[in-house]
Amino acid sequence: MSKDIYRVAIIGTGVIGASWAALFLAKGLNVVATDIAPDAKAKLEAFIEAAWPALEKLGLAPGASRSRLEFTANLDEAVTGSDFVQENGPERLDFK
């Protein structure tokens, strides 16, 4: 069983989540990210901006664009309509 992936939800946008988001964007996917930290959106955008030149050197997939990134503080919004969910929260049972 397989399904094409077009939209990825990123839950948690620390270093690991931001890295996944950058990779998925470089592969030409739509990414919707969510994180409860008040400054998460700005930090994620800054991370991707800094990483993008290196990703360009490695080679971007057709359609790859930073403009494919969305951010929402609402977890339900992030996962609704997503084909794949990448969870990057802390390794704590109460969080998972």
pLDDT digits (tens, 9 = 90+) for 79-94: 999 999 999 976 666 6
State mean pLDDT over 40-55: 98
Report yes or no on whether pTM surpasses 0.85: yes
Confidence at residue 96, expressed as pLDDT on a 0 to 100 scale = 55
pLDDT at residue 34 greater than cutoff 70: yes
Mean pLDDT (the chain, rounded): 93
Neighbouring CB atoms inside 10 A of 24's CB total 24
Neighbouring CB atoms inside 10 A of 62's CB total 6
Contact 65, 24 (CB under 8 A): no
Angle subtended at Cα 16 by Cα 15 and Cα 21, rounded to the nearest 5 degrees: 95
Neighbouring CB atoms inside 10 A of 45's CB total 17
Q: Which helix (H) or strand (E) holds 45?
A: helix 40-58
